[in-house]
Every structure is written in structure tokens, then in C-alpha cells.
Structure 1
Amino acid sequence: MAAVNDVTARAALVHELDVIGEDPAERFDRVARLTRDVFGAPMAFVNLVDDNTVYTLTPQTSTGRRELPASESFCAETVLHDEPTVVSDARTDDRFATLPVVQTLGIRFYAGAPIKVRGTRVGSVCVMDTRPRVLADSDVILLQDLATWAGRILSDGGSATDSGTDASALIPGPVQLPGYDLRAEVVPFSGASGDFYDWTPTTYGVAITLTDVMGKGMEAAKHAASIRAAFRAQDQERPATDVIGATDREVGPALVRADSFATAFHAHLDTATGWVDFGDAGHGIAMHLSAHGQPVRLLRSRDLPLGLHPGAMRRSSGFLVLQPGDALIVCSDGVLDLFDGTLASLDRLAEMYWAAPDDFLRRVRALIAERSPDDDVTTLVLARHGAAPTQDPSS
């Protein structure tokens, strides 16, 4: 059992983090969503645990339960240990067989890794299933990495820090792409930004990157500059995921030492065909807009951010084809704060684009001025010239 002072310290820190009761936030939803996807499970959560209560930061629905007694939760056990808690079949485990979620919801499998903030276990990233399961050692390590990610988000707290570096220092020069329009803009919360976008000409077209470093201010800007340089040093004729992996191996150790991380979207466009080969390191805020009546395609991430497990994981590749009139839009998570803070904001952003494609970035900039989000906001648009869209702006 945990010592009384350990429980007291954890409870105090959980409430000091000041996130309990807030509306669901994309920064936590992203961790839960990736956990659910990579484990192929129906449920995954980012939870905090004080002495009596488990609070979920990622309810499954807008009306989903946000807290439950610690005595009724697997996670109350997880925060007692440094190593993950894995329950292959709760019905055969005397510690958990009588839990209401087992008896009434039919939960059989649970795996949770403790989230640490300032060395204190404050909660868990957990995954659950209604069928028994066994995790491989590599899966347990991945779950620990996801918990590390959540811990760094909580440690950052979304607070602004020092300013003093002009964000324009990381802005690339123009690139000629016949048949395409490539535009982007970064609006830093302060003078220094942890966001950056970049592009580099390649043999067949262009390589584009958008990265969002944890935090704001000078430290985030320094990491952003290092990551940009690492991306630029790579052979851009290689697949996009290879470039991400090589960049992670180069900059990841420094991010680990700084207890930081960065999400990144990196893609290669072949201008002749419209083929886009991309990789996504925990970013998940990119969408393909079709000018031919197809619904918005959200490009989901299945990979960890840079700096969580440098170079140790195999990364997932994706592709799309930009047909005439189509667009690829990539944003930092500050864009979500212009709306309701969730990925549903991207539907609103798509509507803004279709309403006036040529005026899109100016309208985003005006919305930033109106709503003053507490985060850097970066937006990149890669559009292929062609026929006027048939997409209904109100759809």
C-alpha cells in the first residue's frame, strides 16, 4: 500500500495541475485517441487519481462520466507502482473481479501506465477491452511512452514563458510549384514560437513540414530551430517516414533530456501526379479537402511524437492524391482553440477554406486577433490548381 504522505502529495499535485473539470482538450484527447488506435481497443483514457477519486480528462462522449470513486477503478492500483499494471482477464483476477466496470460493463482487459509529474505518480494512461488480451513487452513499453507524453503535457501546463525570438527567423523563402499554391503562416503567442513550418524543393516537387514543440517561449523556440535544422539535413528523396525517423534519432535525445517532445507532420509532394507521401509523429491535425464532393479526410496519427522513444519505433506511412482543386491543410493545435478546442474544429476550418480559398489565411489571422488564443497558431495550405470545387461550403 502507498504511504500516507505519498497519497497526500499525489492528491495535492493532482489538484495543483488545475485541469480537473475543464472541458475536454485536444492535447489529452490526442494521447487517448492514439492509445486506442495503436492497441486496437474500444476504450482508452488519460486519468488523474487523487486519494479518493479518479478523474478522466478524456471522456468517451460529451456526456460521459468524468469521475468515479478510486475504489471502483483499475487506475487506483496503477498509481501505486512505477511499472505498468496489466490485467489480462479481470474476471480471474481477485483484485478486480468485483469492480462494477467488470461486473456491469463486461471489461475483461486493462493495461495502465502511471503518469508522472515532477517524479510523482498522478494518474494513468490506460486501455481497456471487453475481451481478454495479452500484451507483448514492446506494447508495455509503448504504453509507458504514451504515459510519458501525457506527463509532459501536464508538466507544461500550457503556460507562456519568456519571449524574445522573432518567429519569422524560421520562415522559409518562397518556392516555385507550377500548378500548385503553397502558403503558410505562424502567429506566435509571444515573440518566440515553438511552432514552425518549412518546405524544401525536391527532385519531383517539394517536402513540407509542420512541427509543434511542447510549450511556448524561448525554450520551445530553441528546440524548434534544432528540429527544423535536423529535418533540413535529411535526404528528402527518402520516404517521409524515414525522414521523420532519422530526425527523431538526431533531436530526440535532446528533447528527452529537456523532458520535452514535439509533434510533426512531414510530407513529400510529386507535382506531376499530385501524390503525397506523408508521416505523422503524434500530430494528427491535418486534413485532405476534396474539390469533388468527397467528405473531409482527417489524416490520423498512429505514431508517437519526436522525443518520446527516439528512433526505437517503426513509423506508419500514409498517402493521398491531390486532384485538381484539392487542398491539404495542416495546423498546429492552437488553431483548435479558435473554435471549441476539439477536432470538430477542423470541419469549421474546412468551411472557412471553401468559402474563400484565396482569403483563407487572412481570415484565420482575423479570427486569431478576435479570439486571442493562448497558444501559437500555425496553418499551412497546399492546394492544387484546377476546376472550381463542387464541395458545398456548408457541408
Structure 2
Amino acid sequence: MQITTQAVQIGLEWDTRTGSVAIPIYQTATFRHPGLGQSTGFDYTRSGNPTRQALEDGIARLDGGVRGFAYATGMAAITGLLMLFKAGDHIVVTEDLYGGTCRLFNQVFNQFGLSFSYVDTTDLAAVEAAIRPETRALFVETLTNPLLKFADLPALAELSRRRGLLLIADNTFLTPYLMRPLELGADITVYSATKYLAGHNDTLGGLVVTNRPELAERIYFYQNSVGAVLAPQDSWLIIRGMKTLGVRLDRHQENALRIATWLEQHPRISKVHYPGLPQHPDHALMKRQARGFGAMIAFEVDKHALVEQVLLKTGLISFAESLGGVESLITFPEVQTHADIPAELRARLGINNVLLRLSVGIEDADDLIEDLRQALEG
């Protein structure tokens, strides 16, 4: 069954009593027991809720895993995964990643004895060189934020297996529609469901999937123990969004390629980062391993003064953080989404004072191009 069909069908089987096509919102904290020592399978919503369960089952099917888990936010999902490790453990991490993830690693979990090394995960030799005796995992973004680099996931999976590491793949930018990391050798996938999966900039959520039953048991233990679970209403909103994942991403990507191609030709743009462009260094690799190139674009304007002009003069494109919704959003990574990355690392990576990140929505591409044109030239 195609992933688009699977997405549309999420939750359809749940309400057999009434035949409701939409999964009900089970807005309850607790559930009645049918008898002493008996359970309906649901006892307390922190431990399990039918609306959340429908979402968790749905993302597991889309990702090809054995079990899914839904958390209050994407950061809560990553926090839940870090509970798998103990003081003294070391994790190798993609260097070009979301600033909030960097903050969580460096300013929260460092104080509990976890250590992290940041490397270019497109460089297999650099990844292997960063592995220590105490290394327990490799954490990669399948398409990095904000510079859109794409690593060879099967090669990283083979390295992880050989060195006895867990491979955790943050697949937020691509979603299961464009790439299924578990099929390429990852042990765990994690998503900010706030982004493309929910798709409407109206809710928060995080999702985790694994294809290993023993890992699923451990992840559930920590999910239930810590309790940063997704509420029923938000679970319902993400299910609703996921049903249109395929058609939305098709439009997102169509727009992104047109805009990236236009930006390349504009005299005020000095560099465009978009893997759908043939000259992108990871274009050929991504074409082999993914079903598409996503809808995020990073681009550099020719001088810093133009940054504020673009941010404030775009009308259709909102100056706002986040990404992946139907509305186009633009942000300035150096002082917003990536401010928590050390300045020297930002400078080395190219997260500089002329770099803008554009989340391309599903509006008409001609209208978005005109909005960018008048902002750049006005």
C-alpha cells in the first residue's frame, strides 16, 4: 500500500461502534475498569490514550517501524530518547543542526554527564574518527538545518552496526513521505511533528519510531515514566494534518524548486542552498536515497543590510520561526533558530549574517516569487 493511502487511512479503524470516519478526541484523563484486575487496555492518559494511540500506530506504519511514540514537542521527543543513555556516554552529532537541539545537548544533558561531539556527517571518515570507546550513538539530521546537507544514511548505518552504535535519524525536513530512514538502516527516527507532519502551524508535537522491539519497550518505559506525552486534541490535529501529507509535500517541493531556481538568477543573491538544484553537492546522493528534495531553502543576500529589508518587506511570506506549514515563513538563523550554536561554530559552518532560511509553503509559486522580488528590490 502506498504511503499516501496509509496516511489518509490513519485512525479510520478506531471507532467501530459508531463507524466514525474521523478518529474521536478521547478528551479524558482516566478510564473506567470493567472489573477488578481488568482493563480496557487504557487506564490513564499519560500511559495511553486512544487518540494518541491512533497517531502512534499511524506514524509507525508510515515509517515502517514496530512502534511509534507521541510527545508534547519535538524537543520532548529528543529528550525522551536521551533517557536511553547514562552518565559517561558519548554521542556523535551532526554539526549543522537545529540550534534548539544543540542547546538541549550542551546546556541541559551535559550537566547529567552525557558528552557530544559535532562532526560533518557527510564525511564518513570524520564521523568514524569522532567515535570513542564510550560512544553509544550517532545522531544525524537526514537533511540538515539550515544548510541542507544530506548524509549517506546506509553508510552511516553500516558504520554504526560495525561499531555497536545506535543510529538516530531526525527526519523532520523530509518526513516518511520523502525518506524512510529505518529502511536505510537507522534504529530510531524522530520528528518535530509540529512541522510538515501536522502541516498547519497550529499545534506542537514530537514523534519517535523504532523498528526494534526491545528498543520500543525501553522507549515506552521512559515515555510513560517522564510523562511528556502529547494531549488528545493535539494528537487529533496531527492526524488530520498527516492525512494530506503527500499532496502538501508535492506542492511544497514544486514551489521550492521554482523559487530556488529563480533565486539563483537574482543579482542580489550570492548563494542558494537547495538539494533539488543539480549543482548542490549532495543532489545525486539524495536522488538515490530519497523520493524528493524537500521544501526548505537557505540563501545568502549580497549584504547584511538587505536581511532586515527582506524580513520586513515580504508580505505573503511571514517573518516567523518554525517551518513546514502550508504558509511560507522566513527567518534569520544567526539570531533566531541557531543563536544557541557557539559563534565560532556558526561562522565555520556558514550560518552567517547574510543567511536567510525560507520554508516554502503551498501558495501560488508566482505570487511567492513576486513577494521575494519586491522585497529584494524595493
TM over 0.5: no
TM-score (norm 2): 0.29
